[in-house]
């Protein structure tokens, strides 16, 4: 995923946020449309549950709407929204810890709740059906490996390798020292690498 950091996007977000503060619901809807998929994906990666991800994504946007008055624009809107989303995901994960650990990756069974939601991509002339199936398989297994990580490791790994935030940004978002972020990322990657080698044979 490539993060949009160009100036135009930043300015557009700032303008939309300004409009939202005056009660412009259409402006907020634009922001929802813009960040909906990204936030949903992040929540899904953290929780590993499709329905929970949909609920938490809704909660995150509503929380952002309520807190717009406190948003000072010191960080990008996307960073601020991501922090809210990760915090709510962590809370949900703590509530459903038992279920989540039960749904961690297993070689014998597919990851529940994911199969039915991955058929929306229309077939294209690019990758063949076989290739798509393989990619889907890999994705499912990678998600299974992520689900097996401790929550504290999941967050930093996803923020770094999926959201592509810097160590400093992750530390600021989660309230962690940069060294802690670095070591957690290292351990999380090693764990995923070991898991993938185990489930895929080779990476």
Contact positions vs another protein (CB under 8 A): 1, 23, 25, 28-29, 32-33, 36-38, 40-41, 44-45, 50, 53-54, 57-58, 61-62, 65-66, 117-118, 120-121, 138-139, 142-143, 157-158, 160-162, 164, 167, 182, 185-186, 189-190, 192-193, 196-197, 203
Q: How far is the CB of 103 from another protein (least distance, A)?
A: 16
- In the bound state with another protein, the residue whose beta carbon lies nearer, of 99 and 118, is 118
Q: How far is the CB of 94 from another protein (least distance, A)?
A: 22
Q: What SS3 state is found at 133? A: helix
Q: Which of 28, 33, 32, 50 minimizes the C-alpha distance to 41? A: 50
- In the bound state with another protein, the residue whose beta carbon lies nearer, of 11 and 137, is 137
Q: How far is the CB of 16 from another protein (least distance, A)?
A: 14
Q: How far is the CB of 107 from another protein (least distance, A)?
A: 17
- In the bound state with another protein, the residue whose beta carbon lies nearer, of 122 and 175, is 122
Q: Distance between CA atoms of 18 and 27, rounded to whole angstroms?
A: 9
- In the bound state with another protein, the residue whose beta carbon lies nearer, of 65 and 96, is 65
Q: Distance between CA atoms of 41 and 38, rounded to whole angstroms?
A: 5
- In the bound state with another protein, the residue whose beta carbon lies nearer, of 41 and 79, is 41
Helices (H) and strands (E) in the chain, counts: 9, 0
Q: Could you tell me the sign of the dihedral formed by the alpha carbons of 139, 92, 84, 50, in that order?
A: positive
Q: How far is the CB of 36 from another protein (least distance, A)?
A: 6
Q: DSSP code of 71?
A: -
Q: Which two tokens stand for residue 35?
A: 């960040």
Q: Which residue intervals of 4-125 are DSSP H helices?
A: 7-21, 25-47, 50-67, 77-95, 97-102
């Amino acid at each position: 995923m490539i993060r949009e950091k160009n100036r135009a996007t930043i300015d557009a977000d700032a303008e939309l946020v300004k409009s939202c503060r005056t009660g412009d619901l259409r402006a907020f809807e634009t922001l929802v449309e813009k960040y909906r998929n990204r936030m949903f994906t992040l929540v899904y990666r953290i929780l590993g549950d499709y329905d929970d991800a949909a609920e938490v994504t809704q909660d995150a946007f509503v929380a952002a709407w309520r807190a717009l008055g406190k948003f000072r624009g010191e960080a990008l809107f996307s960073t601020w929204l991501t922090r809210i989303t990760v915090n709510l995901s962590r809370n949900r994960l703590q509530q459903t810890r038992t279920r989540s650990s039960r749904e961690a990756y297993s070689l014998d069974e597919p990851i529940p709740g994911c199969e039915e939601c991955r058929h929306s991509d229309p077939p294209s002339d690019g990758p063949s059906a076989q290739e798509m199936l393989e990619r889907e398989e890999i994705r499912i297994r990678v998600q299974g490996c992520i689900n097996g990580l401790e929550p504290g490791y999941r967050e930093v790994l996803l923020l770094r390798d999926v959201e592509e935030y810097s160590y400093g940004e992750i530390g600021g978002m989660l309230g962690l020292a940069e060294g802690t972020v670095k070591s957690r990322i290292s351990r999380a990657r090693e764990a995923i690498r070991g898991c993938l080698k185990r489930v895929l044979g080779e990476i």
